[in-house]
Amino acid sequence: MVSPRESSFSSNAPSIFDGDNYHMWAVRMETYLEAMDLWDAVEKDYAIPALANNPTMTQIKTHKELKTKKSKAKACLFVAVSATIFTRVMSHKTTKSIWDYLKEEYAGDERIRGMQVLNLIRDFELQKMKESETIKMYSDRLLGIANKIRLLGSDFSDSRIVEKLLVIVPERYEATITTLENTKDLSKIFLAELLNSLQAQEQRRHMREENDTHDTTLTRFGTDNERMLDPPVDIGSYISSDFNLLLVVLSCYLREKQEAFSCL
């Protein structure tokens, strides 16, 4: 029977490890096994003592629990790797040997990790904020790189992200930066506090732009309405006036013809 604890975490199992992003997978897998109370069976390669003659019920229960723990931990590792990786670890007898093999094979040595960290730091320093980006989009990008560095075992404090944001954000955020400089010690400001301040200014600017657009629309709508409310042109008066003029011209023409005929 599946315990409530097992069922509550079964749906949160880490994704299948296929050889990429080992450090991220290892952190998630270790956390998952700890939540399932199985990490000891992976971390410690302990032997399960054989049952003595005429064991007590407590001894039988403890023996069974230890065996079950090891089996469950091994099963968790087997189902958490791809078929290709499974063929490489299926011959390992203990959960610790499986874990150690994966770490040695995919974590890389210190030199390789050091190079990866340097490349990530260089990538972090080169990140610029695009005009179309919001503060959240840009900060998420920086945090993603920072977390990769941390997963490789290197320290990367939030203060470095704060420093980069203070220097690199576009001029449109200058008012917020100036306010913070006058009211806060920027060397001690938290990342969340800085992000909240920048996002608040971003939202205010967005609201002003929406209001300006709304006002412009209302102005245009009012002008169109005024045009629609102008007095209508009396087309009939134009037609009547032109018709009368035509009658006068025609009358004069006929009179001239009649006089000319009389002279003959």
Claim to verify: residue 101 and residue 164 sit in the same structural domain: no
| Cross-strand bridge partners of residue 17 | 81
Same domain, 60 and 116: no
Report if residue 240 sits inside a domain.
Answer: no
Give tens-digit pLDDT for 56-91. 888 888 888 888 999 999 999 999 999 999 999 999
Whether 102 and 114 share a structural domain: no
User: Quick one: pLDDT band at residue 214, thresholds 50, 70, 90?
Assistant: low
Residues 60 and 141 in one domain: no
pLDDT given for residue 15 in this prediction: 84
The reply to whether 119 falls in a domain is yes
Pick the residue with more confidence: 143 or 244? Answer: 143
Q: How far is CA 37 from CA 5, 22, 28, 32, 42, in A?
A: 10, 22, 14, 9, 10
If one compares 218 and 75, the residue with the highest pLDDT of the two is 75
Residue that finishes a domain, picked among 106, 121, 153: 106
Express each pLDDT in 155-205 by its tens digit.
999 999 999 999 999 989 999 999 998 998 988 899 999 999 999 999 988
Q: Are residues 8 and 92 in the same domain?
A: yes
Whether 61 and 133 share a structural domain? no
Question: Are residue 122 and residue 28 in the same domain, yes or no?
Answer: no
| Residue 149 belongs to some domain of the structure | yes
Of 115-119, 216-220, 224-228, the range with the highest mean pLDDT is 115-119
* Residue 222 within a domain: no
Q: In this structure, is residue 53 part of a structural domain?
A: yes
- The parent domain of residue 191 ranges over 110-206
Whether residue 53 is found in the same domain as residue 120? no
Q: Is the residue at 252 inside a domain?
A: no
pLDDT of res. 187: 87
- The total number of structural domains in the chain stands at 2
With beta carbons less than 8 A apart as the criterion, state whether 122 and 109 touch.
Answer: no
Cβ-in-10-Å burial (0-12, 13-18, 19+) of 159 comes to middle
Domain C-terminal end among 85, 106, 127: 106
pLDDT score of 206: 82
Domain end point (choices 186, 206, 226): 206
